[in-house]
Structures are given as structure tokens and as C-alpha cells.
Structure 1
């Protein structure tokens, strides 16, 4: 009996856990129809299509070269690799270990026609990956120019209203207090962390601030209203909490200060 494993992944917030379940379900059905024994599943969740960034994928390749199984079943070939070079490289490594990569939903036969079809599908996967990256970049750039949230955690002091940052008045006053304390007194970064603890300030999750969080807040140019993506900058992308002069003083003081150790 052929010993096989399943590899599944999804790579962005537009896909969900159900995407993994669907991939695995179809791979299991395919394996059953062929009489393959599934001995393991390798899953990468919300991880880049870049093969070097996928821990489960890399473990699967290592296990494959150790000949722990005979075949890898994927939902479609684009789940295995998103560019032709990676597909060729890793399939070549696996081929030397007599491990096949099999698509559960794409009828790729053995022989010359199958080789041609697989090459075409690998090329299409690379095309769609590059096209998606371009669309994401364009979308992020437009969001910055329009002052829209580009993803990630909302900085302390702001809240989300639609697709825009708006000021959370109570928390914004804490942000200003921290910047003013650091800019206008002799307090150090470490001293500021102690100050925050003594005042009982809590972060967005209702927990005490970590020293590193305070450090990152003091470095966050969003508090000046600046949104940035790559080389695209919108200096009025968000409502300003900290003025430019105070922010500049804080950056200069932090650059000179040597006593702060980022945890």
C-alpha cells in the first residue's frame, strides 16, 4: 500500500480555517479512492506562499527525503509552491527520494503529457501569485493615500470607525502624557515604564503595559498622523495625537539614551 501524507495551507486573512478543512477533506477522499494510507498531515496556517517561510512544508520535505512516505497529496499544485523555481527544486529533491507530489483535483497523468500539464499549472500558480501580490500592493497603497487602515493592530489611542482611524479620547490622553513626560522631563525610557506601572495604566487588552510596548509606542509615527506603505507616505492619513515637535524631541532623546534595554 502507498504511504501518503497530505499538505494543505492558506496564506492570508481572505482565506479561513474552513479552507484548510476543505483541502484536507478532498485529499482524504482522493486517497481513499486510490487506496492510499494517509500517515500524516502537514498544515501551514496563514503563512506565506514562500517555501522558506513554511515550517510544516520544510518538515515535510525533510521527512520525504528520509523516505518516510511515498507520496504527497495536495488539493491543487499551487498549494505546494507558488513559483516554478521552487516547484522544480523541491519536486526534484523529492523525486530523488522516490516521493511523488500528487494533485487531488487536477488530473495529471504520468508520462510526457502529465509533465507538460504540471509545468503549465506551476506556471499559472506563479502568475496568480505575482498578480495577487501586485493587487495587494496597489490596494495597500490606495488605502494609505485615502487614510484607510492598512491592517494590523490598532495603535493604543486610536479606535476603528469604518475603515478609518479615529481618536479614542481617554487612551489618547495617556499617549500624550507618556510623550510629554519623556520629552519634557529627565525621565528615562526605563523610568517611563516604571511611571506607567505606578499610574496603573492598562493596554488595549486591559493588561499592564510591557516595557517593549512603551518603547514601540514612542517610536510609532502614526501618532503624528503619518501612514506609510513602502515608499508611499500620507502625512495626514490619521488624526494626530502627538505634535511633530514633541515626537522629534522624543526620537532624539531615545537615540541618545543608552540605559534603555528593549525586552
Structure 2
């Protein structure tokens, strides 16, 4: 019996020795049973409420590949405390014919999964409730409910019984001076961007230890985050402003606001850094900025979370080669590196006119796309990739069809054996159900399988050149709707535009998806066929350069 061992502990408050202890006990049990240990998996300081753990993911992957026959762990809650996740692990292991055995529960069955899984889920909820009760108690006692804010140090001290005393904070004099400076500068009329640039130039580290950004200072007034919105600076603790819910698909926590009636507010005068006059001056300016934005139509609250069409042709696609940040508007006509202006951590101060950028890129796209040599080279690589996909797709479809034919023959053979009384009705039913399930699975696959993409038509080159010319001409037309549609097509073919400063001028590198234009050309020749599946992303590499070029 080949066996894999798994161990886990959940928080930094525990220790690596816990992993060693769990594995040691599992080894003793495996030795007693005469099992052969083929691998040991572990996760250190990771909660069992999620499967987003490297150790458990490697365990599941190796189990499905048949590397071992049994999983041995200290207890079922080491594998997972989430009811849905433990049921999923059990289901996958049953399919892979891998047993799960724990030192606490023995061999895991569906009964264990149901009862123990519910108990573990209740344990997590109870633990969360107790944690929140403890946090609330600390806040009501004038202490921090958790985490730390810029401007304060965590005070580490212990009770007479050795238990840590949590929630105490002390003002960090240096960081407090930075907080006062930020508030004074903002109240005096400086923008958050200008404040961030000045702090970065002086080498003052941000709360995360990196560079300051204007969002770190501005934050979100409704959520109470950001330097300018932290009420702890005026000696007021606000807790339970928001709650966090874990996304079941990604495992990431998402913030959700709580109603104001659920907030817990407590005065903490010993944590005050700012006087009320300075705080109120900043709040008045924030309120004035919000009103001005709404009045000018720059912000419509009803449209905050809706996707907007890019204002300019290449909005969001331009990037600085020096820092990787985006290029954005610095005036009505020019764009420049956002990082250089917002944070001051990039030295690229070379700008370019927006209309010049668009003209150079469009003219280059047209000339490069219509170059016969480039098109021939691209078509050669494209055809090779399409042929590979055709072979893979055809092989899967043909195998499925062949297996369905075998299932039909076996079903007939079972019926013949039953009629000859060579097999019982129970055996026929059991095997018949298995065949029926497999046949349904294969039929579903064939119903959704993509047919092999077509090869390039002989006249594709002419159609391709025609479509590129049409796109270019449409962008120059007076018809707004046609221009918007053509702009969308052009944007879909470009991955990004990298701008590099060279001797005071800008060099432009365009990277994109030339295969997309073949799809567009193919759709015009056979609209009903819809050859969108034929699109293949071609990336520039050795010996193949059409997907990226420099202007």
C-alpha cells in the first residue's frame, strides 16, 4: 500500500514543530500497518478554511495521477475545515480510488464527511464569532480592534499569567510628524499627488514600505481608509465599518460595508495626533472637491461602477518602458508617464502628443500588416498552429466516437448474455448503468466539442489586405458609429504599446494579435460560419517577429 502523509497548522501562533509532530505520528502508524510512504505534504501557517494551499493542491494533483493509494493525516480537519471543500476532496479521492485515513477518525467515509464536516464548519463560525467578540471588547476598552495604522507602533506586553495583552498602540513620533505634514499640505491646497511626489523625493517610506501613491493619501472616505480619512488621528476608534466575505471561487476576501448603526465608536484621546481644526479643514476641502466634481459632470454616482468606452483610441494600452506604469493625459494634447508624475519614482519625463502617437501607430499598422513578406511569414506560422489544433481536436472527437461504438456493442453483448442466462439481471443492470453514464458523458462532449478550425483560404491574402485598408479608412471617416466600431477592432488587435524615451524622443513598440485580423477577414467571407474559434494568439519570438514591431 503506497501512502502519502499530510500535515498542516493554521497560524503564526503555532510552530513548525507541529508539522514535525504530525508527520512523526503518521510515520509510526504507517510503519505499524506495513505501508510504504512515497511522499509527505505540508502547509505551514495556512488556515484550513480554504483549499488555496500549495501542499493540499500538490496532494490532490498527485492523487489523481495515481501516485499513491492512500492519504494519511492526523485528523480530517487537517485536510480542510470547510464542509464543501472536504466533500470535494473526498469525492475526488473516491474517483481516483484513493482512500483517506486519519489517526483520529480511522478510514474516512461519507458519514464522516457529513457529520465531521458540519462540526468543523461550525467550529470555524464559532471561532470567528469569538474573535469578533474579543475585537469588540478591545475597541470598547479604547484599544485597537486589530491591525495597525500608519503613525502608531504595536505595544507588545504580557499579562502576569504570560498571555499577550492585545490592542495597545503607541504614537510613532516620526510617522506622526508625516501625518501632520500630509494634513497641513492638503489643507493648504496641495493635491494628494503633489504630496506623494514630495514624500517620495525625500525618501520617506510609505505605510507599506514602498513608494507613496495619491490613493494611499486620498483613500476612500466612505470606507474610512486612506491617511486623510483615519479617525484614529483625532483620537476616535471606529470599528465594524465593514465586514469581509470570502469569495467561494477564488478564496479572496471581499469587503462589504456595514450599516452605520452597526459601527462601534470609542474615544481614545491618548492616540490623538491631530487637532480638530486641522481635521475639519481637510474634511471641508474634501467635501468641496466632491461637490465640484459632481457639478462639472466629472463624476456621476450612478455610473461609478459601469464600464465606460475608452475616451481615446489607445487609452489604457500605452505603457512606460522604464517603470511599466501607464501613460496618461498630462494636458489636453499630450500624454506622459503616470508614475513619474503621480509618485516621482520614475525618471521618464519625455511626453508625446496623443494625435502623433495615434497617427504613427495606425500608419505603421497599415504598412506593416500590408507588407507581403510579413504576411507570408505570419501565415506560415499561423497555418502550422492551425494544423496542430486540427490534429488535436480531430483526435479527441474520433476517440469519443469510437468509444461510443464500443459501448453500443458491449450493451448488445450484455443483453445477449442475459438472454442466454449466462449473467444475472443485477450484473446487467450494474454494468449497464456504468455504460449509460459513460455514453452520456461522451455524447455531451461531442455536442460541445469545437470542430477543427479551417485552414486559410487561398484568397485570404487579398481579403486580409482589403480588410486592413477598410479599417484604416473607416477610422478617418466622419461616421461616428463606424469609427467607434473600427476603433474597437483595432484595440482588440493590440496587446500593449510600450513607449521608450531615447535622446528626448519616443520610440514606440507595438505588441498585438495579428491572428485576429485573419479571423475578421474570414468572417466577412463566411459570416454564417463564424470563425471566431479559428483565432490563435501569436506571440513574437525567435524567427517570428510580425506580432511585435518598433515604429
Provide TM-score, normalisation by structure 1: 0.78
Q: Give the aligned partner of residue 29 of structure 1.
A: 28
**CA RMSD between the two structures:** 3.4
How far apart are 1:79 and its partner, in Å? 0.9
Match of 1:164 in 2: 168
1:176 paired residue number: 180
Cα deviations across residues 44-84 of structure 1 (Å, max 9, x unaligned)?
23223223433432332233223222222211111112144
3-state secondary structure, aligned to 1:51: coil
**Distance change (3 Å), C-alpha of 1:157 and 1:62:** same
Instruction: From 200, 204, 210, give the equivalent of 1:201.
Output: 204
Written as runs of structure 1 = structure 2, the 5 A alignment for 1:14-93 is: 14-93=13-92
Which moves more between the two structures, 216-225 or 143-152? 216-225
After TM superposition, give the deviation of residue 249 of structure 1 in Å: 4.7
Deviation at residue 13 of structure 1 after TM alignment: 3.8
Q: Distance in 2 between matches of 1:254 and 1:14?
A: 45
Separation in structure 2 between the aligned mates of residue 194 and residue 42 of structure 1, nearest angstrom:
47
CA distance in 2, matches of 1:126, 1:139: 20
Tell me if the contact between 1:51 and 1:58 (Cα under 8 Å) persists in the aligned partners.
no
**Does the CA contact (< 8 Å) of 1:227 and 1:237 recur in 2?**
no
Q: Distance in 2 between matches of 1:58 and 1:119?
A: 22
Q: Residues 85 and 198 (structure 1 numbering): CA distance in 2 closer, same or farther, change over 3 Å?
A: closer
Q: Using the TM superposition, give the Cα deviation of residue 134 of structure 1 relative to its aligned residue in structure 2, in angstroms.
A: 1.8
SS in 2 for 1:8: strand
The answer as to 2:280 corresponding to 1:245 is yes
Matched with 2:122 is 127
Change (3 A) 1:25 1:174: same
Give 3-state SS (helix, strand or coil) of 1:89's partner.
helix
Cα distance change on mapping 1:156 and 1:213 into 2, 3 Å: farther
Structure 1 counterpart of 2:213: 211
2:267 aligned to which of 236, 242, 259: 236
Answering whether residue 131 of structure 2 is matched by residue 136 of structure 1, we say yes
Equivalence for 2:503: none
Match of 1:222 in 2: 232
Query: Tell me, what secondary structure is at the counterpart of 2:106?
Result: coil
CA contact (8 A) 1:3 1:39 kept: yes
2:3/2:68 contact within 8 Å kept: yes
Deviation (angstroms), 1:195: 1.0
Unaligned runs of 5+ in 2: 158-166, 218-225, 244-261, 299-328, 331-337, 344-551
Q: Write out per-residue CA displacement over residues 150-181 of structure 1, whole angstroms, 9 at most, x where no aligned residue.
A: 333x3231123453222223321221101221
CA spacing shift, 1:72–1:251, aligned 2, 3 Å: farther
- Show the 5 A alignment for 1:93-132: 93-103=92-102, 105-109=103-107, 116=111, 119-132=114-127
Quick one: distance in 1 between partners of 2:97 and 2:105? 20
Unpaired runs of 5+ residues, structure 1, are: none
SS of match in other structure, 1:43: strand
- How far apart are 1:217 and its partner, in Å? 3.3
Query: Contact 1:179/1:250 (CA < 8 Å) preserved in 2?
Result: no
Listed one character per residue, the Cα deviations across residues 60-114 of structure 1 (whole Å, up to 9, x for unaligned) are 22332232222222111111121443322320111110111111x225258xxx6
**Cα distance in structure 1, aligned partners of 2:7 and 2:176:** 43
1:21 match: secondary structure: helix
TM-score by length of 2: 0.40
Q: Summarize the Cα distance change of 1:71–1:150 in structure 2 as closer, same or farther, 3 Å threshold.
A: farther
Larger of the two Rg values belongs to structure: 2
Q: 1:128 to 1:180 in 2, by over 3 A?
A: same
Partners of 1:251 and 1:58 lie apart in 2 by 47
Residue 37 to residue 220, structure 1, CA distance change in 2 (3 Å): farther
The answer to whether the 8 A contact 1:141-1:232 is kept is no
Cα separation, 2, equivalents of 1:106 and 1:130: 22
Shifted more, 190-199 versus 232-241: the winner is 232-241
- Would the aligned equivalents of 2:43 and 2:56 in 1 still touch at CA under 8 Å? yes
Shifted more, 168-177 versus 228-237: the winner is 228-237
